[in-house]
């Protein structure tokens, strides 16, 4: 199932992943709950696969523009670039 994310949802997600330790911890343990906490449908969690670890906050912030392009619009496959 494909899930559309608005530009605002993408910005909120990237803000949280790039700065909020509590959100990052929730993402690592329950991605669906993390998404729901910021107003993104839990069904979008399947698009992110089974993320075991996130890139550092610095790396996520440095890659923000590229991640925005990948996340905005239709997510119909696993998103790359969240580990490492």
pLDDT, tens digit (0-9, with 9 covering 90-100), for 10-24: 999 999 999 999 999
Query: 58-78, pLDDT tens digit by residue?
Result: 999 999 998 888 887 545 444
> In the chain, what are the domain boundaries?
3-75
CA dist 18 and 54 (Å) reads 10
Length of the chain equals 84
Instruction: Write down the pTM of the prediction.
Output: 0.78
């Amino acid at each position: 199932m494909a899930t559309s994310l608005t530009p605002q949802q993408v910005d909120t997600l990237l803000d949280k992943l790039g700065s909020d330790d509590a959100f990052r911890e929730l993402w690592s343990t329950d991605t669906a709950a993390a998404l729901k906490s910021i107003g993104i449908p839990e069904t979008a969690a399947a698009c992110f696969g089974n993320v075991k670890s996130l890139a550092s906050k610095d790396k996520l912030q440095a890659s923000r523009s590229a991640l925005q392009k990948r996340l905005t619009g239709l997510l119909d496959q696993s998103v790359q670039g969240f580990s490492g």
